[in-house]
Structure 1
């Protein structure tokens, strides 16, 4: 007996047609993802203030993705999304702070092939000559961003030699935008060291540039490590505040504790100016606005 066939010519043609359309759509979609920014150098920056520089130096010739984009994100505890890994994998240049600050980025870079597959710029070690264990908050160092802009322009030029002049000019133009903060910092630099206290080391590079001496090193280190300062260090800072031995108290508003809050309150009671700083870029501000606002607080405190 002949086995009945389940083959139906019309059904088969329709199925093949639908399958072909689905396959073409899928391939077309993949193509759009790959060519979403055709001809542009793809850059991923761990922190948005580094991404800001990348966009300024690269201009219309680059597409920049910053992973840390909200002031509410903790750079130390950031959990990268699958999309972040995809962005890094597709990038030609990856920029991060390094020296232990954003270790999660180093892991993503390694998983995506490391420096063999892309240009990696670690601001701390590659540009500023720092090592793990050094102060991580390099964006408060007035020398960091001009150096970074120059290095980035050089790396973009290696990938795109025909536009080398454009990258160099755009780096110079960006550095010129830093002039208000640079000039203000020069104006505020003290001829004689002035003692200050800080809640943690976020501001220390800028303090050094202005010749402001941090007097509570043990206190700030404990705060940085999430530990309670030793009673003797707390007592010393309290005494310095009450005796007005410090000119200002620099307070990182994003990292606090009961002890730090008590120091802020004690400073206010004793007429010690409070300088409010943050670790991440505030909402609706760019880097130059951020730094200028802080320097203006310093200027008022030094009067």
Structure 2
């Protein structure tokens, strides 16, 4: 599901001329919900008791958290809600640009994962008045070049819920207590996930191989040690892994030196396909993961389904 990063960069730049024009027209023809140049906290007085706070989430799993915390006081629009859409290669339409421009709160991943959102925000003259959360950067303390798939870290969603409750309380102080209660309710709903992580966590490092580093944060939480980091990073960057790295992974699978092969089914290549076949023929369990939320599943269901596969691979039911 990934293009070469350089190709992505040119694709994003090419589309920004149209989007900038749309945003300029929106700014001239629309009435803003906030005053440009004011802080998100300053704009709280402009949120009436009847109007809903407009939230845009780049990824639907972050939108799920925003809706859980905001309840009936928010209107959440998820830009990426199709599991077949690659977040890296997504090119925002003028309609998406208008939706972002009209929002009061924006939630997206950051650290380059959804760089198109950075472009939209930069082109929006009213962005300084919005509440903006880059989950990887602001919530999890990551920076460009770090593993971007932070939603696989079991600590991310609880921290995000608390962050969004604080931000919503600034926009809508009269409902601050409600937002914080909603956040705690959401966090409590993730208890089965936390319990399953503890159940599957290994006492000593257990080796696994992965097709790319999508699942690495969860693997770390389970004390699973990724044995092919060079190979997986090459696949993640859209480059060919070295012959020696491929050979090492093949040896791992043939000799069953790893407990499982974690395979992102949304990003494949002839090299990865051959490794999947080798894992199957060698009897190495395959754990199928995805980068985006499967249609019709909540974040909890999505994570639990994948952890069930891990449990089976480890012989833990």
Q: Give the TM-score of the pair, scaled to structure 1.
A: 0.87
Return the alpha-carbon distance in structure 2 between the equivalents of residues 122 and 115 of structure 1.
Answer: 14
Equivalent positions of 1:100-119 (< 5 A) are 100-113=112-125, 115-119=127-131
Return the alpha-carbon distance in structure 1 between the equivalents of residues 293 and 255 of structure 2.
Answer: 34
Q: Secondary structure at the match of 1:220?
A: helix
Q: Secondary structure at the match of 2:214?
A: helix
Q: Counterpart of 1:39?
A: 51
Equivalent positions of 1:21-170 (< 5 A) are 39-113=51-125, 115-170=127-182
Q: Secondary structure at the match of 1:250?
A: strand
Q: Counterpart of 1:10?
A: none
Q: Counterpart of 1:289?
A: 301
Return the alpha-carbon distance in structure 2 between the equivalents of residues 184 and 83 of structure 1.
Answer: 40
Deviation at 1:87, TM superposition (A): 1.1
**1:151-190 alpha-carbon deviations (Å, 9 max, x no partner):** 0000000011110111001001111111111110011110
Q: Counterpart of 1:27?
A: none
Q: Secondary structure at the match of 1:66?
A: strand
**1:18-57 alpha-carbon deviations (Å, 9 max, x no partner):** xxxxxxxxxxxx89xxxxx961011000001100110110
Q: Counterpart of 1:4?
A: none
Unaligned runs of 5+ in 1: 1-29, 32-36
Which structure 1 residue ranges, 4+ long, deviate > 4 Å from structure 2?
Answer: none
**1:176-215 alpha-carbon deviations (Å, 9 max, x no partner):** 1111111100111100100000000000000000000000
Deviation at 1:139, TM superposition (A): 0.6
Return the alpha-carbon distance in structure 1 between the equivalents of residues 52 and 181 of structure 2.
Answer: 18
Q: Secondary structure at the match of 1:98?
A: coil
The count of aligned residue pairs is: 269
Deviation at 1:114, TM superposition (A): 6.0
Return the alpha-carbon distance in structure 1 between the equivalents of residues 207 and 55 of structure 2.
Answer: 41
Return the alpha-carbon distance in structure 1 between the equivalents of residues 50 and 227 of structure 2.
Answer: 53
Q: Secondary structure at the match of 2:57?
A: strand
Unaligned runs of 5+ in 2: 1-29, 32-48
Aligned counterpart in structure 2 of residue 185 of structure 1, from 189, 197, 200: 197
Return the alpha-carbon distance in structure 2 between the equivalents of residues 114 and 289 of structure 1.
Answer: 37
Contact 2:101–2:126 under 8 Å retained in 1: no
Deviation at 1:110, TM superposition (A): 1.3
Return the alpha-carbon distance in structure 2 between the equivalents of residues 269 and 251 of structure 1.
Answer: 15
Return the alpha-carbon distance in structure 2 between the equivalents of residues 231 and 196 of structure 1.
Answer: 19
Q: Secondary structure at the match of 2:215?
A: helix
Q: Give the TM-score of the pair, scaled to structure 2.
A: 0.83
Q: Counterpart of 1:253?
A: 265
Return the alpha-carbon distance in structure 1 between the equivalents of residues 223 and 79 of structure 2.
Answer: 34
Deviation at 1:113, TM superposition (A): 2.7
Greater relative contact order structure (CA < 8 Å, 6+ sep): 2
Aligned counterpart in structure 2 of residue 210 of structure 1, from 222, 233, 238: 222
- State the superposition RMSD in angstroms: 1.3
Q: Counterpart of 1:19?
A: none
Q: Counterpart of 2:7?
A: none
